[in-house]
Structure 1
């Protein structure tokens, strides 16, 4: 069952296709125009940028297929970078060398609204899980903390949650 929001729209100031909507809007800050790119299902735009004036220097240039495709590509890249940044903020990995073997120690923060927490995990060189303990979301994974955890037989770090 398809809704009206799934149907393609190709108008001068509104294009909707393939899960994206481009809407040309009046720029409230000055005399010009802006374009906002929305991903389907999102209430906030993924991208807002200046839009070109038309030949009459009063109205915006109409959207077209090339402009729309470029805007989709740019907005998709903005979202991808945001996801990569969030992933980097929530995940950290370090390596500890002991007895000629490498152990990968990871911290994965779970940003639950009510009670955020993190998983401290260890993996051998083949990627097999060695240990996993729940710690506070504020746990600081440093090289010394990782080495201490490995040296202590993967016991839950005391006083760090």
Structure 2
């Protein structure tokens, strides 16, 4: 288990200590891994409560203490954490906004499922567009609706009647 005390909120200043670097909108904090004898580094974006990325950190020459953070390591960690956050955002967007093109009734139709996550009232909208992008139909469905080529084709060929929830 890692000890992850919240990083200091250093929006305007930068800190460059052996185990704590804050700069460029990120905080790198070297932490003791309580489960073993190793060390880890937590990368937290300013304004976030939880680290975006936690990874192993190198031991120092004495094989007891962590290697101190330096400018090159910090910039590599910022790049890695930024890429991780971007991939995570892209995956979330792809999961919440799906699109399939189908041919139904001899016409090309794009069917989209847009999910609005909400703890109390999650919603989803199923919509269809013709080849020129003009809307053909739109209706609310369960956020659990599974958009597939078969379900999209059936919805279009069925005259855009609300799909039966299974």
Give TM-score, length-normalised by structure 1: 0.88
Corresponding residue for 1:31?
A: 37
2:139 pairs with one of 133, 151, 155: 133
Distance in 1 separating the partners of 2:72 and 2:59: 16
Partner of 1:8: 14
1:20 corresponds in structure 2 to: 26
SS in 2 for 1:5: coil
Q: Which of 44, 47, 58 is residue 64 of structure 2 equivalent to? A: 58
Choose 41-50 or 98-107, whichever is displaced more.
98-107
CA apart distance, 1:42: 1.3
SS of aligned partner of 1:133: strand
Task: Give, in whole Å, the separation in 1 of the partners of 2:36 and 2:146.
Answer: 46
Deviation (angstroms), 1:129 = 2.2
5+ residue gaps in structure 2?
Answer: 1-7
2:50 counterpart residue number: 44
User: How many equivalent residue pairs?
Assistant: 158
RMSD: 2.0
1:137–1:4 Cα change, 3 Å: closer
* Counterpart Cα distance in 2 of 1:85 and 1:140: 17
Q: Which runs of 5+ in 1 are unaligned?
A: none
